């Protein structure tokens, strides 16, 4: 008997050693890959955290205008869905604690600590499925379900115990196991993905429990986290025991045991029974884990890109040095400073729209992630409004022009409530020239008289001439020997030379068309 016990003990020790060896190996691999160049891939966003945001700071129009989906693919370096969803949501939130974020980032400069954090987040990613709405669901287990599950588990346990006294009882154990499997399958289907969400809740709790031991949070936050974890632990004891045993389970026997003894069902039942106590804490714990993953992503981002930590100004100003758009390969960097509204002119494809997007993207980056693609970036926390990529809507039957004026109306409404940074590209391009110019002059006059900061691009020099008192900037280009060139640098002044006809020649239009257009008209 002693020999058998010794063999089992040695075997368990070997398993534990293998697990820790794997952990050490995985930590090293995660750390090595952390600083490699990230390939920007599009990932699915479930918006589970976004749906918890009551009053988003930006709307869908701003998101589409600035192509924030592509920006997020660049910024996102998270491991788990918790971090990804939380980080995505930060683009839509107005209030951020950058001090806490920078404090975590500073601590992550410790190589040993970073390795541990990466491993915990990686471990969370392996088991977590979207579960933030878990406590919003009704408990699907009826009184009879509870009785059936309990009695079935009791019968199986009794049969297993009886095998120690009568070996022939094992055939009844096997028979009842088939009943257990059938019942478990039934309840898994009945509850859909509630059980996986229930286990995901436990994973988030345990991940945060590990992270808070690394002293990443302030003393006040640690006390709060400690209380939340203790409360959660009252109802996740079964999951925690399973989690500990799973550390030495290389044959996945625990998955079999969890199924035949209905462990996920019991865990799900306990959590839903006490959901009023746990729901609010779950969101906060989720946010703490998300905050750490956001910090990890920013550390990686700052290592790969030329970035800066922005400064917030108490005055309504936008000021930056060598700022660029991260989507563009080998981007041209611009420096700019203004505390007044401005109009921007320039030929086609000279850089006007990209400049507006660059300003907008870095404003979002400054607010959400305390990081900008520039050498220096100073900003006032304006409410951001845009009108850049307007599209007609076939479903609603709205034309391009209707979408434009509805967007402008929303901007005007926002201006009346708070100070905004407004980015408008080619105002009212969706209607005829005469009415476009007339409406633009009146609308822009109204905007320029407000306390907001307006950046507007246009080709219409008559509109520019009507606002000679507004700061004027431009982008210039040239075409030499059918080769189009632009330095993409913003300059003071007005661009009064168009390139539309010349570009037809550059892109191979028939010479008869080009020559005809060159004649006076």
Distance separating alpha carbons of residues 500 and 481, to the nearest angstrom: 16
Average pLDDT of the residues in 23-28: 80
Average pLDDT of the residues in 269-292: 89
Residue-wise pLDDT for 456-494, tens only, equals 998 888 899 999 899 999 988 766 666 667 788 999 998
Look at residues 264, 280, 181 and name the one whose alpha carbon lies nearest to residue 224: 280
Pairing type for strands 477-480 and 420-425 reads unpaired
Task: Note the pLDDT of residue 21.
Answer: 79
Residue 510 confidence (pLDDT) above 90: no
Residue-wise pLDDT for 52-84, tens only, equals 998 899 998 999 999 999 999 999 999 999 999
Distance separating alpha carbons of residues 276 and 273, to the nearest angstrom: 8
Residue 363 is encoded by which pair of tokens?
A: 């404003």
Highest mean predicted confidence (pLDDT) among 18-27, 350-359, 497-506: 350-359
| Chain centroid to CA 442 | 39
Task: Note the pLDDT of residue 151.
Answer: 65
DSSP state of 247: T
Helices (H), 396-506: 400-415, 433-448, 461-466, 500-506
Distance separating alpha carbons of residues 353 and 496, to the nearest angstrom: 17
Task: Set out the domains of the chain in order of their start, with CATH numbers.
Answer: 47-54+97-304 (no CATH), 311-518 (3.40.50.300)
Pick the residue with more confidence: 135 or 454? 454
Look at residues 423, 334, 338, 352 and name the one whose alpha carbon lies nearest to residue 383: 423
pLDDT over 70, % of the chain: 77
Task: Note the pLDDT of residue 133.
Answer: 85
Distance separating alpha carbons of residues 90 and 483, to the nearest angstrom: 43
Indicate the angle between helix axes 194-212 and 219-233, nearest 10 degrees: 140
Task: Note the pLDDT of residue 436.
Answer: 87
Please state, in angstroms and as integers, the Cα–Cα distance from residue 94 to each residue in 149, 169, 219, 297, 323, following that order. Answer: 47, 65, 25, 20, 23
Distance separating alpha carbons of residues 185 and 231, to the nearest angstrom: 31
On average, the pLDDT of the chain sits at: 84
Task: Note the pLDDT of residue 284.
Answer: 95
Residue/partner pairs of 434-440 with CB below 8 Å, 24 or more apart: 436/460, 437/462, 437/463
Out of 292-296, 383-387, 478-482, 510-514, pick the least confident: 478-482
Distance separating alpha carbons of residues 150 and 145, to the nearest angstrom: 9
Please state, in angstroms and as integers, the Cα–Cα distance from residue 273 to each residue in 177, 198, 276, 284, following that order. Answer: 28, 12, 8, 20
Radius of gyration of the chain (CA): 30
> Half-sphere exposure of 333 toward its Cβ, with a 13 Å CA cutoff?
13
Residue 354 confidence (pLDDT) above 90: yes
Residue 317 is encoded by which pair of tokens?
A: 């100003």
Residue 7 confidence (pLDDT) above 80: no
Could you give phi then psi for residue 39, rounded to 5 degrees? -85, 125
Distance separating alpha carbons of residues 326 and 311, to the nearest angstrom: 20
Residue 24 is encoded by which pair of tokens?
A: 């050490």
């Amino acid at each position: 008997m002693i020999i058998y016990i010794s063999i089992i003990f040695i075997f368990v020790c070997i398993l534990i050693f293998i697990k820790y060896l794997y952990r050490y190996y995985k930590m090293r691999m995660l750390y090595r890959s952390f600083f490699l160049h990230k390939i920007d891939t599009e990932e699915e966003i479930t918006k589970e955290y976004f749906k918890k945001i009551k009053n988003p700071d930006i709307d869908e129009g701003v998101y589409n205008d600035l192509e924030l989906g592509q920006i997020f693919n660049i910024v996102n370096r998270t491991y788990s869905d918790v971090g990804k969803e939380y980080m995505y949501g930060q683009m839509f939130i107005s209030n951020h604690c950058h001090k806490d974020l920078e404090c975590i980032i500073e601590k992550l400069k410790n190589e040993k600590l970073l390795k541990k954090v990466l491993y915990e987040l990686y471990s969370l990613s392996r088991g977590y499925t979207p579960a933030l709405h878990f406590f919003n669901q009704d408990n699907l287990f009826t009184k009879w379900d509870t009785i059936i599950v309990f009695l079935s588990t009791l019968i199986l346990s009794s049969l297993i115990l009886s095998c120690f006294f009568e070996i022939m009882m094992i055939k009844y154990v096997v028979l009842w196991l088939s009943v257990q499997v059938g019942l478990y399958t039934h309840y898994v289907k009945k509850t859909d993905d509630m059980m996986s969400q229930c286990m995901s809740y436990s994973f988030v709790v345990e991940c945060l429990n590990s992270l808070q031991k690394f002293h990443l949070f302030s003393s006040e936050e640690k006390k709060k986290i400690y209380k939340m974890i203790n409360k959660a632990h009252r109802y996740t004891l079964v999951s925690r025991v399973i989690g500990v045993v799973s550390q030495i389970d290389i044959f996945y026997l625990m998955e079999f045991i969890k199924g035949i003894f209905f462990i996920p069902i019991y865990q799900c039942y306990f959590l839903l029974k006490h959901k009023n106590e746990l729901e609010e804490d779950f969101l906060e714990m989720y946010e703490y884990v998300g905050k750490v993953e956001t910090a990890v992503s920013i550390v990686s981002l700052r290592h790969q890109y030329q970035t800066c930590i922005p400064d917030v100004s108490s005055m309504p100003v936008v000021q930056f040095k060598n700022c660029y758009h991260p989507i563009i390969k080998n981007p041209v960097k611009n420096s700019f400073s203004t505390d007044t509204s401005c109009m921007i002119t320039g030929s086609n494809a000279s850089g006007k729209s990209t400049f507006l997007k660059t300003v907008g993207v870095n404003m979002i980056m400054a607010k959400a992630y305390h990081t900008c693609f520039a050498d220096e970036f100073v900003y006032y926390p304006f409410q951001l409004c845009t009108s850049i990529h307007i599209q007609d809507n076939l479903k609603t039957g709205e034309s391009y022009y209707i979408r434009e004026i509805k967007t402008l109306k929303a901007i005007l409404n926002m201006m009346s409530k708070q100070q905004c940074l407004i980015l408008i590209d080619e105002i009212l391009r969706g209607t005829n020239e005469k009415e476009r110019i007339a409406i633009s002059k009146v609308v822009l006059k109204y905007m320029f008289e407000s306390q907001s900061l307006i950046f507007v691009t246009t080709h219409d020099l008559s509109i520019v001439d009507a606002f000679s008192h507004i700061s004027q900037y431009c982008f210039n280009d040239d075409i030499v020997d059918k080769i189009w060139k632009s330095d993409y640098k913003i300059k003071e002044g007005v661009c009064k030379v168009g390139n539309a006809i010349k570009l037809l020649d550059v892109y191979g239009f028939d010479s008869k068309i080009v020559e005809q257009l060159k004649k006076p008209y």
